[in-house]
Each structure stands twice: as C-alpha cells, then as structure tokens.
Amino acid sequence: MATFLLRRLGLMVLTLWLLTLIVFFAGQILPGDPARATLGNLAAPSAVKALDHQLGVDRPLLDRYGSWLGGLLHGNLGTSYAYQSAVEPFIRAALINSIKLAALAFVIVVPLGILGGVIAALYSGRTLDRIISVTGLSLSTVPEFVSGIVLLVVFGVELKWLPVTASAGANASVGQQFRHLILPAIPLVFVLFGYIARMARAGTIDVLNSDYTRTAILKGLPRTTVIRRHVLRNSLLPTITVIATQTGYLIGGLVVVETLFNYQGLGNLIYKAAVAHDFPMLEAGVLIIGIVYVVATLIADLLLTWLNPRLRIGGSR
Amino acid sequence: MSVPADPVDPVAPDLSGGYLGASGAAAVAVASRGTPARWQLLLRRPTFYVGAGILLFWVVCAVFGYMFAPYSPLAQQLLFSNAAPSAAHWFGTDPLGRDVLSRVITGSRDILIITPLATVIGTVLGTILGLAMGYFGGVFDAVASRLVEAILALPFVIIAFLFVVAVGRSLVGITVIIGLVFTPLIARTVRAAVLVERSMDYVPSARLLGEKPGRVMFGEILPNVLPAILVEFTVRLGYAVFALATLSFLGFGIAPPTPDWGADISANYIGLPAGYWWQTLFPALAIATLVTAVILIADAIEQVLAS
C-alpha cells in the first residue's frame, strides 16, 4: 500500500510539473504586448517599455518560467497585469463561486445519473435502455449555452419562475443564492448525466453477467435482493472515477455557463484574462483547474483502491 | 493514475474525452471481427435512419442553402428588426432585420465544412500516435502517456479557446486547432485498442515473418482497430460541433456577419429578457438537432459493432 501510494504521488507530481510547462508556454504564444494592452494604444513607446520592464516580461523565457515556478512553490500565483495586484484574491473568490455552482450540479446529477445508468443496465438492449443511453449521450454533446438558452427562454423569460442571472447580489441569503444557481446548474447536469449514466450502466452490466450474480439468482434470492446486495455494491465502483474526473470540468469548463448567466466564477475569470492578455491571471486560473483535476483523479484512485481489495494487493482479476 | 491500464476502470472517463475508453474500444475491436454483411445491420436500426435523415437535411442546407433560403442571410431590413415569427418571416427577424430562418439554413455551411475536416485531422494524428504508443510501449509510451494526461487535465474547450486567441480566428486555424485538441483523446482510445491486439498471436507472427514495425502497425493492427476508430470518429464529430459552436459563442469562432448558429446566439441572447426568444431559440435548436443526429448515427454504429 505504501509503495502504491508513493508511486501515485510521484506520478501526480510529474503530471503537475508537465502541466506547469504546458500552461506557461501556452501562455507565451498568446500574441500582444501586456504593457501595450494595459496602457492602451495611445501610450508612449517609452512608457510601454518601462512597464514591460517593471512587469518583467522583457527577461528571457526560461528565466521567467523559473521565477514563476519558484513563486508557485511558495504559494505566490503572480501579479495581474490588468489589475496591478496579486492574482490570488481574484482566483480565490472565483473558485469559491465556481465550487458553489459545481456542488449544486453534482448534488443533482450524481443520484440521477446513477439511477438512469442502473435502470438502463437492467433493461439492457431494450427500448428503455436505448432511450436513456441516446438521450444521455445527446444531452452531453449539446453545448451548455444551447440548453442554457432554452431553459432561460422557458423558465426565466416566459414562465418567470427563476431569475435569469446567476449572481444573487452581495448580501443574498443562501436560499436566494440557491434560487439563482438552479438554472445555470441544469445545463451542467445535462452534460454530466450522460457520462455518469454510461459508466453506471457499463459497471452494472459487467456485474449482472458475473458468476456470483448467476449463483445468487440460481439459489433463489429475490431479484431486488440480488440487485441491491450483490450487483449495486460492485457495479458502482467505476462510476466513482468518472464522478471525480468530472470535477475538473465542473470547476473549469464553466466558461460558457458563467458567461451566459453572468456569474463571476473561474471560467469567466479565465475568459476575461485571455481577452485582456492578462497572462499571470490566465496561467494561474488554468493551472488551478488542472490541479483540481489531477487531485480529484488521485482521490478517486485512492478511494477505488481502498474499496477494492483486489487492486490493493495488486493481483489481477 | 494511468487510467487506461486500470483493471476496474473500463472506460477512460472524462468529459473532455473518453467515450469508449479502454475496454470499450477493446470490446468493439474484438467484437467487430466479422463479415462486411454486418454493415447491413446498420440499415435495420431506426436510430440510424433518424440520425442520417437529420444529418442529410443539414448537408442539403449547407450545400444548397443559399439557393433556397427565402431571403439573403445578410440582407438587413432595419424597419423590420426584431419582428416576431410571421408568415413572411417564419422564424422572425434579428435586431438588424435579417431573416432568422435564412440565417439558420445557411449557418450550417461553415460548421459542416470545419467539423468533419477537424475530426479527420484529429483522428489521423491520434491514430498514428496511439498506434505508436501501443505498439512500441516502453519509455516512449510512458512519456507520451504523461503528456497526454497532462493535456487532458485541462478542459478541451479552454485549450482550444487559448489557441484560437493565440493564432487568430481563421477557418483554417480553427479547423487545425480542434483537430489538434482531439489528437490526445483519440490517441488514448487507439492505444487501449492496440494493447489488446498486441497480445494476440498474429502480431508476434507478423514480426517473426520479418515485417517492419510500420508494416505491422498499419498493415496488421490498424485494420483490426479500425471499427473502434470509426466509432470514436463519429462521436468526436459530435464534440467538434460542440467545440466549434462554443468557440463561436465565446466570440472566437466564425466571424460575423457570416451566418453561424453559435455566433448568432452570442449576438442575440441579450435580447432574451426583452422577449425576442426566436433569435436565439432557433439557432440553438439547429445545433441541438445536428449534434443529436451525429450521436444517433454513432450509437447505431456502436450497437452494430458490439452485437
């Protein structure tokens, strides 16, 4: 177990390091001079040069990567070009907002997705299964802004049941915030439902075809008992991985939903930073998303290993 | 974290990516060793007909749309701006008085040129990379797998968006970028399918016969993993529509005034609170039907290959 843990942690550190390389050098290929973007077209060339020097962007590339990485290791995410202040408070506030939205979407989609997947598996190959599978897959490929628009038109504009913006204002109660977040959360639920249902279905079908399920049925256990005690306990393991890997998407892939509903989350922050050529903000935001994904994957791996002794010992099936 | 190798993780799971994943791709690859007659089964699937029908409709719109659209998609009639759907304008007009129906019909053109090309680029590159990773293994596979995983840690819409900001939004640029973003995803699926194939007798046999690695990979293994690649291609096509529409919505896709569903939604959704729902709803439905059509076809192909 200890060596397994060490190996996983080592791989995680390696992935994170590659991630910093990708994020940093992807940031460098973005065109435009940050000082020019900050000062505007009318600024004197000497002022632009001075600000470039002050921001440090006239130093060699590797030099800048070194100091950026050094800063990261000390918990310093950098200084925003556009705001001329530390990136960290912006990222923190946006991350908290994104987590609120993501958490609501998760709470709705996880039970729904698992239920849908298990039902599809029990009716495998029949009409109900095809309906659930195809609907799930279609919903997951329809862009969030498309479902978001339809929801906005129906529930926000025509029926006026729910507010059309995601931000409830500064002093809103938890209940008000919740009301504002329902509409933005539903497109995310749509996108995720197909994935979770698909995994739950695959896992359940695997277990339904196993010898021990056949034994349980043949020894005369009622169908509900077989499903509840023998099938579900084993079939939902792979689903944990899917749910974990979706956190990366949920925290970061929110660009569209957050733009559509005008919500100050991480996706929106990254979008605005890219448009404004605010590299430190952009790099920090993208890196945070990557870290969330990598850490969530690690937690899922550990959870799976803990729940499944066969993996812990390292044997094969 | 090496997801594809994980025995309890049958599908390499992530939103940006895996559809079939490891054992899914493997299952399709193994199950599909069959006769060409299998393809006739496709014609018995109602989902295939529905999907192909909708797709055909949009292809016709893309090719001939400019001829049969009731108005020019660019013609502005400022006196008739924001008009609700009527007999003259079935889908109403936008803030510039342009006919929404005509823009929806002609908006299919660019999306149906870019997305298949981008998917082909991603599939070809991803297949080559995945074949090499699965076949050679060792250090090359380990390094490439780490890189693929690091890239997959970022949502693909964000990567695509960053690259488009970097190189500017030309049609060629967007096509290549979507293709490149898909490459690691497809490589992962192909790699998983190749790993299954490599354990079969015919691969060592071919090697013992003295075939070169390139010949073994492309002549022996590739034909056997082709069905898995085909399913991956179809699903990826759906995501290419997703990616392009999203880029357009964010203002980094097809540039106005060229009719485009995502860009039109982006330009007009501020009119929603004022009640101008037709300007956004119809392009949104167009995207949804196109995506659903591709997914229906993908599902039918997968069902046939797995049967």
In chain A, what is the straight-line distance between the N-terminal and C-terminal CA atoms, in Å? 18
Record: contact B8-A311, CB cut-off 8 A: yes
Record: contact A289-B154, CB cut-off 8 A: yes
Q: Which tens digit of pLDDT belongs to each residue from A187-223? A: 889 888 888 888 888 888 888 888 888 888 888 888 8
Q: Does A130 touch chain B (CB under 8 A)?
A: yes
Q: Shortest CA distance to A292 belongs to which of A26, A16, A5, A6?
A: A16
Q: Shortest CA distance to A181 belongs to which of A62, A99, A61?
A: A99
Please list every residue in chain B whose beta carbon sits closer than 8 Å to the beta carbon of residue A317: 7
Closest by Cβ to B150, choosing from A15, A133, A249: A15
Name the residue of chain A whose CA is nearest to B21's CA.
A199
Please list every residue in chain A whose beta carbon sits closer than 8 Å to the beta carbon of residue B3: 241, 297
Record: contact A11-B1, CB cut-off 8 A: yes
**CA of B232 vs chain A CAs: smallest distance (Å):** 13
Rounded to two decimals, the ipTM of the complex is 0.75
Q: Which tens digit of pLDDT belongs to each residue from B221-257? A: 888 888 889 888 988 898 888 888 888 888 887 777 7
Beta-carbon count within 10 A of A228 CB:
11
Say how far apart CA A295 and CA A267 lie, in whole Å. 19
CA A137 to chain centre: 18
| R_g of chain B, CA atoms, integer Å | 22
What the block records as the tokens of A298 is: 């690690």
CA atoms within 13 A on the CB side of A246: 26
Q: Does A30 touch chain B (CB under 8 A)?
A: yes
Q: Are A172 and A224 in contact (CB under 8 A)?
A: no
Query: pLDDT tens digits, chain A, 317 residues: what are they?
Result: 677 778 878 888 888 888 888 878 776 766 666 666 666 666 777 777 777 776 666 677 777 788 778 877 777 777 777 777 788 888 888 888 888 888 888 889 888 988 998 888 888 878 888 888 888 877 877 788 888 888 877 787 777 777 766 666 666 677 777 777 888 888 889 888 888 888 888 888 888 888 888 888 888 888 888 887 878 777 777 777 777 777 766 765 678 888 888 888 888 888 888 777 777 888 888 888 888 888 888 887 787 777 776 666 654 43
Q: Are B54 and B100 in contact (CB under 8 A)?
A: no
With a CB-CB cutoff of 8 Å, which residues 83-142 of chain B face chain A?
A: none
What the block records as the tokens of A92 is: 């923190």
With a CB-CB cutoff of 8 Å, which residues 226-285 of chain A face chain B?
A: 237-238, 241-242, 245-246, 248-249, 252-253, 255-256, 259-260, 267, 270-271, 274-275, 282
Say how far apart CA A177 and CA B25 lie, in whole Å. 43
- On the 0-12 / 13-18 / 19+ scale of CB atoms within 10 A, A2 is exposed
Closest by Cβ to A15, choosing from B14, B146, B277: B146
Record: contact A245-B277, CB cut-off 8 A: no
Contacts for A209 with CB less than 8 Å, ≥ 6 apart = none
Q: Are A231 and A213 in contact (CB under 8 A)?
A: yes
Please list every residue in chain B whose beta carbon sits closer than 8 Å to the beta carbon of residue A256: 157, 246, 249-250
